[in-house]
Amino acid sequence: MAHKVLTIEDQPDIRRLIRMTLEFKGFEVIEAGDGRTGLDLARQAQPDLILLDVMMPGMDGLTVGKTLAQDPVLCRIPVVMLSALGTAADKSAGMAAGVQAYLVKPFSPWELLEKVGQLIASARTGA
């Protein structure tokens, strides 16, 4: 059974790159172009992992991350924040929002696959 990854990202080109990378390794990918839709899909699909952009119109990634972390069902899903913002303060804000990892754009496909694999394996073992 393929692991399901939800990508919440407003840029179609980045979503496409992520989808192609993950599908190449056998992941099932579902996508949302904004935070509100992403939260709805997370509730419906119960993915194994969520990739979350920081800067999006409407509900930004920090707000989505906090909402996920406070939800008794969704809080178990590992979240990787994706952002062009790479300062220590940006990363701290992301981690404070309840995410498990922070990748700075542009990231390599290998870096993405490694982080996704690590977090899904940790979530499965309860580590």
13-37 residue pLDDT tens:
999 999 999 999 999 999 999 999 9
To the nearest 10°, report the CA torsion of 86, 106, 59, 45: -130
- DSSP states of 25-39 as a string? TT-EEEEESSHHHHH
> The CATH number of 4-125 is which of 3.40.50.2300, 3.40.50.880, 3.60.21.10, 3.50.30.50?
3.40.50.2300
The pLDDT of residue 124: 78
C-alpha to C-alpha distance for 97 and 99, rounded to whole angstroms = 6
pTM: 0.95
Q: Is the pLDDT of residue 127 over 70?
A: no
* Percent above pLDDT 90 for the chain: 91
Contact 53, 11 (CB under 8 A): yes
The pLDDT of residue 50: 98
To the nearest 10°, report the CA torsion of 35, 39, 40, 43: 170
Q: Is the pLDDT of residue 84 over 70?
A: yes
